[in-house]
Amino acid sequence: MARDEVILAIDQGTGSTKALLLDRRGRVLARAAEPLTQTHPRPGWVEQSPAEIWAGVIAATRRCLDGHDPALVAAVGISNQRESMLLWDRATGEPVSPVISWQDRRTTARCAALVADGFGAMVWERTGLPLDPMFSATKGAWLLDHADTDRRRSIRGDLCLGTIDSWLLSRFGGEHVIEIGNAARTQLLDVRTGRWDPRLLELFGIPSQVLPRVVPSTGPFPAVRGLPPLADGVPVGAVLGDSHAALLAHAGWLPGRVKATYGTGSSVMALCHDTSEPGTGLCRTIAWGTGPESGTGVGAIAHAVEGNILSTGSALRWLADTVDRTPAELADLADGASSDGVHLVPAFGGLGAPWWDSDAQATLAGMTLATGLPQIARAALESIAFQVEDVVEAAGQGEVLLADGGAAANPTLMQIQADISGRHVHQSLVSDLSAIGAAHLAGLTGGLWTQTELEDFDRPARLFTPRGGSEERRRRRSAWHQALARARTTDRSA
Ligand SMILES: Nc1ncnc2c1ncn2[C@@H]1O[C@H](COP(=O)(O)OP(=O)(O)OP(=O)(O)O)[C@@H](O)[C@H]1O
Ligand SMILES: [Mg+2]
């Protein structure tokens, strides 16, 4: 195999689509990003355009490969935002719905009704996930209720329901498939077996005929088609959920590794070696499945424990947009400032792990006439760190936190995280770990490197050491929990 072969990684994220080119030693040769819009047609609704997502993938790929020989791309790795769902026509491949974003809360009442009917424990047991509108199942049901009320077209096989990985792979042509880690986030998969669960399909009203076939994270996937300047037929070596890919990029298969990805929302994740109860309010997920398919489901499944926080980077972006600054400018303002008792609880769409409270309301509390933007910006950064620590603590995880994602580039946030957690934080000095994780697995599948070589790749990080005593930490977290309690008891009908 030629020494100069490269891997192209595409990370289809919520805020942007990124493309990276990696050489045979895992070094990033080129990168490009295309922003992606979100629309809010009604309060709590968040949608994206399937066509814009695909156009962003094309544009990011083309720009990333500018000045590089596309013939050297040995394989493509894909990572993607999870849980978001859309529906398309099987015959034409044309979308028949927008993408309902993972952030969308339109199915809150449906989830509450299922909980009230006593299905919560059964669903959590099988899927590893709480009944929450974040997950795809109720989004899929909503889409079918609006496009195929009597499910006749679904049962005939005319429609395809899919996550973003399914959608991108469908653009390449071939069969309707989904990667197993992404499938684990739909709330339709039994994470213990890696198979669609007939009881869940019935509960949510989703006919099996609309669902993709579940395949391992290493495929086989349809090969690239229509992604110039790549030649048609370049293999897709790996597909991973973005959070799962970031864990893989941190060499998360090694014992004791816990990572936090700071994107639009955040995910704290670590592999776990059984499928037992992972800790209050946390999810069980399939990180990746790399084994060959077998008669009993998808083989060699790596299970993970995960806590999803709905709003972290998006809280900062909301504040930045509101005051006409950038998130980086806000972080500069917050540097050296004190929040002076101000707390932002960014429950813009309720709260995720470990609370799972759809009714919680975003609040900004504790202000005085002396409060200015620096205090509020500081409170916004602290809200990210407090939320992450609540999850890491619930997971009973270790001394070191591996950090990545757009907001983790910020040293002020990383220091706040170390101080609030009392843990050492390793800030990845390489950005876009989701894309890099997908590249790592694609290169492994394609034989560009071995597992040992992959383990030895350089993973540059900056260490943040906790400051302040445990008493101070306890006091600050207790004040945060009081603010959280207020956000959770707000009466929406008032
Ligand atoms: N300099 C900065 N300081 C702090 N936060 C920042 C900075 N730059 C970007 N961010 C935050 O990072 C977030 C974007 O991170 P990232 O690019 O990892 O998200 P994404 O991939 O689009 O979304 P996701 O991974 O959740 O699907 C934004 O919401 C923004 O608030
Ligand atoms: Mg991302």
- The CA-to-CA distance between both ends of the chain, in Å, stands at 68
Distance, CA of 465 to chain centre: 27
Nearest ligand to the CA of 309 is 1
CA distance linking residue 30 with residue 317, whole number of Å: 26
C-alpha 330 to ligand 1 mean position (Å): 13
Look at residue 294 in the predicted model and tell me its pLDDT. Answer: 41
Cβ neighbours for 401, distance < 8 A, ≥ 6 positions apart: 258, 259, 260, 388, 392, 417, 421, 423, 424, 425, 426
Give the DSSP H/E element, type plus range, for residue 284: strand 283-289
C-alpha 21 to ligand 2 mean position (Å): 17
C-alpha 182 to ligand 2 mean position (Å): 14
Q: What angle do CA 299, 305, 308 make, to 5 degrees?
A: 120
Q: Where is the domain boundary, 189, 216, 239? A: 239
CA distance linking residue 189 with residue 170, whole number of Å: 20
C-alpha 81 to ligand 2 mean position (Å): 7
Read off the CATH number of the domain in which 168 is found. Answer: 3.30.420.40
Phi, psi (rounded to 5 degrees) for 204 = -90, -10
207 and 125, same structural domain?
A: yes
Query: Sorting pLDDT into bands at 50, 70 and 90, what band is 165?
Result: very high
Range of 476's domain? 313-345+362-427+465-489
In a domain, 247, yes or no: no
Which residues make beta-bridge pairs with 162? 86
Q: What is the CA radius of gyration of the chain?
A: 22
Q: How many CB atoms lie within 10 A of CB 360?
A: 25
Helix axes 242-249, 433-445, angle to 10 degrees: 70
Q: Assign residue 32 a region: left if phi > 0, alpha if psi is -120 to 50, beta otherwise?
A: beta
In a domain, 433, yes or no: no
Q: Whose CA is nearest to atom 25 of ligand 1?
A: 263
Average pLDDT estimate for 153-175: 96
Pick the atom of ligand 1 nearest to 265's CA: 26
Q: Whose CA is nearest to atom 30 of ligand 1?
A: 313
User: Of 179, 161, 189, whose CA–CA distance to 240 is shortest?
Assistant: 179
319 and 215, same structural domain?
A: no
Pick the atom of ligand 1 nearest to 316's CA: 31
Pick the atom of ligand 1 nearest to 413's CA: 4
CA distance linking residue 199 with residue 62, whole number of Å: 43
C-alpha 242 to ligand 2 mean position (Å): 6
Look at residue 301 in the predicted model and tell me its pLDDT. Answer: 87
> Tokens representing 429?
């000095």
194 and 331, same structural domain?
A: no
140 and 15, same structural domain?
A: yes
Average pLDDT estimate for 298-308: 83
Q: Whose CA is nearest to atom 31 of ligand 1?
A: 313
Q: What angle do CA 309, 313, 318 make, to 5 degrees?
A: 115
In a domain, 63, yes or no: yes
Query: What confidence tens digit (pLDDT) does each residue in 240-267 have?
Result: 999 999 999 999 988 888 999 998 899 9
Q: Ligand 1 pocket check: which of 316, 323, 427 to mutate, most ligand atoms within 8 Å of Cβ?
A: 316
Ligand 1 binding pocket (C-beta < 6 A) is 13-16, 81, 242, 263-265, 313-314, 316-317, 327-328, 331, 405-407, 409-410, 413
In a domain, 453, yes or no: no
Q: Where is the domain boundary, 224, 239, 254? A: 239
Pick the atom of ligand 1 nearest to 266's CA: 26
**Contact call for residues 85 and 144 (beta carbons, < 8 A):** no
Q: Whose CA is nearest to atom 6 of ligand 1?
A: 407
For the ranges 297-301, 397-401, 466-470, which has the lowest average pLDDT?
297-301
Q: What angle do CA 208, 158, 109 make, to 5 degrees?
A: 55
335 and 212, same structural domain?
A: no
Query: Sorting pLDDT into bands at 50, 70 and 90, what band is 173?
Result: confident
User: Of 139, 152, 65, whose CA–CA distance to 104 is shortest?
Assistant: 139
Q: Which runs of E-coded beta strand occur in 253-346?
A: 259-262, 266-271, 283-289, 293-294, 297-298, 301-309, 343-345
**Residue 274: burial class (beta carbons within 10 Å; 0-12, 13-18, 19+):** exposed
Q: Ligand 1 pocket check: which of 264, 266, 322 to mutate, most ligand atoms within 8 Å of Cβ?
A: 264
Residue with tokens 């992404």: 182
pLDDT tops 60 at residue 297: no
In a domain, 73, yes or no: yes
Look at residue 298 in the predicted model and tell me its pLDDT. Answer: 43
Nearest ligand to the CA of 164 is 1
Q: Where is the domain boundary, 182, 207, 239? A: 239
339 and 215, same structural domain?
A: no
> Tokens representing 483?
């603010």
In a domain, 399, yes or no: yes
CA distance linking residue 454 with residue 427, whole number of Å: 20
Pick the atom of ligand 1 nearest to 431's CA: 18
CA distance linking residue 221 with residue 441, whole number of Å: 14
The total of structural domains in the chain comes to 2
C-alpha 264 to ligand 1 mean position (Å): 6
Look at residue 116 in the predicted model and tell me its pLDDT. Answer: 95
Give the DSSP H/E element, type plus range, for residue 488: helix 470-489
In a domain, 457, yes or no: no
In a domain, 284, yes or no: no
Nearest ligand to the CA of 377 is 1
> Tokens representing 50?
């399937």
C-alpha 320 to ligand 1 mean position (Å): 12
Query: What confidence tens digit (pLDDT) does each residue in 378-419 have?
Result: 999 999 999 999 999 988 777 899 999 999 999 999 999 999
The residue ranking higher by pLDDT, 173 or 114, is 114
> Tokens representing 82?
């999870």
C-alpha 404 to ligand 2 mean position (Å): 9
> How many CA within 13 A on the CB side of residue 74?
21
